[in-house]
Amino acid sequence: MRTEAEAAGPPLEPGDFVQLPVPVIQQLYHWDCGLACSRMVLRYLGQLDDSEFERALQKLQLTRSIWTIDLAYLMHHFGVRHRFCTQTLGVDKGYKNQSFYRKHFDTEETRVNQLFAQAKACKVLVEKCRNVQHQHQ
């Protein structure tokens, strides 16, 4: 019997890459890039049932304001092993003045910070990591 490491083949070297047949799912709105990416991951893993995905969004109360921590809870809901690495364990105050966040920032800040605070108890793996690169459009 082969170990998981043996089954995966030789370790990757810097510059190596693995191309996976992840299906492309287009965003429906300007704000749902994270949900589209989540759908792609779940479809690749063979776990995407559109009605189940919609039920998960309702259960997790995910609407138009989706933060990365929301996506971590979504992946956890579907049993996807993952690790969410972030520079800020909570809301990044730098988003407060961005037009997309400005209107509901204060209420969202409370909600998002609660998700971070409850992550360990909910078995959602969140780690503060240095040098995490992210962009938000």
Whole-prediction pTM: 0.76
State the pLDDT at residue 93.
Answer: 77
Dump the DSSP string for 50-86. Answer: HHHHHHHHHHTT--S---HHHHHHHHHHTT----EEE
CA–CA dist 5, 86 (Å, integer): 27
Listed as own residue / partner, the contacts of 43-49 with beta carbons closer than 8 Å and 24 or more positions apart are: 44/20, 45/80, 47/78, 47/79, 47/80
State the pLDDT at residue 63.
Answer: 82
CB 46 within 8 A of CB 9: no
Q: How far is CA 49 from CA 17, 46, 117, in A?
A: 29, 9, 30
SS3 40: helix
What are the phi and psi torsion angles at 37 (to 5°)? -65, -40
State the pLDDT at residue 105.
Answer: 81
Q: What's the CA angle centered on 75, arms 24 and 114, to 5 degrees? A: 130
Binned average pLDDT, 10 residues per bin, the chain of 137 residues = 50 78 89 91 87 92 87 94 88 75 78 93 91 51
- Tell me the two tokens of residue 13: 């070297």
